[in-house]
Structure 1
Amino acid sequence: MSPGFAAPVVATAGSADPSAPLIVLLHGRGSHEKEILSLADHLPAHFAYAAVRAPIAAGGGYAWFANRGIGRPIAESLRATMDWFTGWLATVAPAGRPVVLVGFSGGAAFAGGLILDEPSRYAGAAILYGTLPFDAGVPTTPARLTGLPVLVAQGEHDTVIPRELLDRTWDYLLGESGAPAVARRDPVGHGLAAPAVQTLAEWLQDHLDRPAGRRPAGAQRTAAPGQRRDPAVAGE
């Protein structure tokens, strides 16, 4: 583990099979692992879920990095916490075990940093109601995520994450990143819409259970109105 950080606190759900695909749930800023773990109740039960507590105390909860503004990590802080996280991941998911990151808000930025830093390590990532960590020491070059399945979900009325960062994330992931992306925007604010959760469940099955090349039925860019605010996704 990286100096200065305690060993990760992890809450688990789903399959106990050490070879089952591992879905790592990353909470928002000011939240904690037990909140995001409740998202697993709405996802396929035969996968393994691990909700990790971020290492930095913040706002009555925890954060993945120090920032210079919402959605803008300080590069040195992001580097330190990514190294801490990948050290833990190596102990629970040796090479060959599929790992998918699912991050909400600040956890989405952290997930984005991880896949941009080492795209070949992961089987996919869901960037939910958050931004990629642009200008924070990880590459956002063209074709960086070629072949890596990505799900993007955003709220049209999100006033927490700066709109310029949401738009930049959307454009990069659906464009020059090279990722095979599924994306949706729902008429909600900074909280998961129920159709987005359904799309997430279908997307996980699509990429971990089904033959390559198929897309989940929920793959779309917009959805019917209806907001679901889950304690699992509290925090920025």
Structure 2
Amino acid sequence: MEKPLEYLIRKPKVSVEKPPLLLLLHGVGSNEEDLFSLTNYLPDSMLIVSVRGPLTLGRDSYGWYEVLFTTGQPKINLEQERESRKLLLEFLDYLKLNYQFDESKVWIGGFSQGAIMSYSIGLLHPERIKGIIALSGRLLEENKTIVDATEKVLNKRIFISHGTNDRVLSVEYARSVKGYLESIGIHPHYKEYEEGHSINREMLKDLIQWLEVELENPK
């Protein structure tokens, strides 16, 4: 099977026969090296893969789909978003063929557009994903309408962080996702920070603590 997407990988720092897998998805205009810089801080037992978006926007600049803000509201290219979802699912199959990991413990997370893609994969393909990490993201309204609130969806473990001073994606998006998830029976770990559109030390510390607790949970 050919490699569907470019990526960087950090293998577990400790000996684990079938480690949990964490996929990291960057924001628009960035690349796989961005979130890969966090891997030194994340749990040693995890196999961590930082993935490059398929859309080339410029030199070392990639995305998962195009967005236009001409109306004041983000208007996305839904076809590209669907294609990126398809590629990420193929990429999971590719990883399965090439690396050992626990398929029942696959986490997906990202920043901004990467968080948006993480919601899409985790909620629309719940059989493939145990948990979602959404840093400064939103849930696409177009995808919210096709989420099927099955037991697999309701069992999702979800971490949401967002800056109250975010001028790119307002914190209202995160609050809206939280309200929606609670309305269907999911109670995410949710926290706001006095921060803009970025990941600060406090967010990272909270994420690490949350992940460590989740990894110890046998369910």
State the TM-score bracket (shorter-chain normalisation): 0.7 to 0.9
Are the equivalent residues in 2 in contact too, given 1:142–1:176 (CA < 8 A)?
Answer: no
- Aligned counterpart, 1:222: none
SS in 1 for 2:56: strand
Are the equivalent residues in 1 in contact too, given 2:22–2:47 (CA < 8 A)?
Answer: yes
- Could you tell me which runs of 5 or more consecutive residues in structure 1 were left unpaired when the two chains were aligned: 213-236
- Aligned counterpart, 1:65: 65
User: For 1:146-200, what per-residue CA distance to the aligned partner results, in whole angstroms no more than 9, with x for missing partners?
Assistant: 1110000010110101454333223223x12422310100111111122211121
Are the equivalent residues in 2 in contact too, given 1:71–1:131 (CA < 8 A)?
Answer: no
Normalising by the residue count of structure 1, what TM-score does the alignment of the two structures yield? 0.78
Are the equivalent residues in 2 in contact too, given 1:110–1:133 (CA < 8 A)?
Answer: no
Corresponding residue to 1:159 among 154, 167, 177: 167
- Aligned counterpart, 2:54: 55
Moved more, 65-74 or 80-89: 65-74
- Aligned counterpart, 1:89: 92
Corresponding residue to 2:83 among 73, 80, 88: 80
2:63 partner amino acid? A
Are the equivalent residues in 2 in contact too, given 1:105–1:129 (CA < 8 A)?
Answer: yes
1:40 partner amino acid? T
Hey, which of these two has a bigger chunk of helix by percent?
2
2:9 is aligned with 1:9: no
- Aligned counterpart, 2:208: 201
Are the equivalent residues in 2 in contact too, given 1:72–1:133 (CA < 8 A)?
Answer: no
Moved more, 48-57 or 111-120: 111-120
Measure the CA separation in 2 of the matches of 1:12 and 1:71: 32
Are the equivalent residues in 2 in contact too, given 1:11–1:37 (CA < 8 A)?
Answer: yes
Counting matched residue pairs gives 208
- Aligned counterpart, 2:22: 23
Give the alignment of 1:185-196 within 5 angstroms: 185-196=192-203
Corresponding residue to 1:107 among 110, 114, 120: 114
- Aligned counterpart, 1:117: 124
Measure the CA separation in 2 of the matches of 1:114 and 1:186: 25
Measure the CA separation in 2 of the matches of 1:64 and 1:34: 15
> Which is bigger in relative contact order (C-alpha 8 A, separation at least 6)?
1
2:176 is aligned with 1:168: yes
Moved more, 86-95 or 75-84: 86-95
SS in 2 for 1:93: helix
Q: 1:18 to 1:159 in 2, by over 3 A?
A: farther
Are the equivalent residues in 1 in contact too, given 2:103–2:128 (CA < 8 A)?
Answer: no
1:165 partner amino acid? Y
Percent identity, aligned pairs only, is 24
Are the equivalent residues in 2 in contact too, given 1:102–1:125 (CA < 8 A)?
Answer: yes
Moved more, 90-99 or 46-55: 90-99
Corresponding residue to 2:189 among 176, 182, 185: 182
1:52 partner amino acid? V
Are the equivalent residues in 1 in contact too, given 2:115–2:138 (CA < 8 A)?
Answer: yes
Are the equivalent residues in 2 in contact too, given 1:116–1:139 (CA < 8 A)?
Answer: no
Measure the CA separation in 2 of the matches of 1:97 and 1:20: 10
Corresponding residue to 2:156 among 117, 124, 148: 148
Are the equivalent residues in 2 in contact too, given 1:152–1:183 (CA < 8 A)?
Answer: yes
Are the equivalent residues in 2 in contact too, given 1:55–1:64 (CA < 8 A)?
Answer: yes
